[in-house]
């Protein structure tokens, strides 16, 4: 994907935090029911919100200092490979 992304726009949908950290931008897609209708939302996450999202992908809804530290390390390693 890196080779292709050097000259083309690449959009990847993943549940794998190891893949998500390699992107230049990170969006979260969520779905919920409101007023009897199912709706979807998309939002970009940056900074600490991105760390939290990667940590959630790693360890589920309950964030711990261990999952946050692992998320920070993954993000740092993802930048080095870019």
- Residue-level pLDDT, tens digit, the chain, 82 residues: 778 888 999 999 999 999 999 988 999 999 999 999 999 999 999 999 999 999 999 988 888 999 999 999 999 988 776 5
Number of structural domains the chain divides into:
1
Domain encompassing residue 66? 2-81
Q: Are 24 and 44 in contact (CB under 8 A)?
A: no
List the one residue out of 55, 75, 74, 78 whose CA is nearest residue 66.
55
Q: What is the pTM of this model?
A: 0.83
Is the distance from CB of 71 to CB of 16 less than 8 angstroms? no
Cross-strand partners of 28: 43
């Amino acid at each position: 994907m890196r080779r292709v992304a050097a000259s083309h726009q690449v959009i990847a949908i993943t549940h794998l935090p190891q893949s998500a950290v390699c992107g230049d931008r990170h969006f979260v897609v969520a779905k919920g029911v409101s007023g009897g209708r199912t709706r979807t939302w998309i939002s970009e996450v940056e900074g600490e919100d991105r760390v939290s999202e990667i940590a959630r992908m790693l360890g589920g809804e309950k964030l711990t200092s261990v999952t946050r530290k692992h998320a920070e390390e993954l993000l740092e390693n993802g930048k080095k490979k870019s």
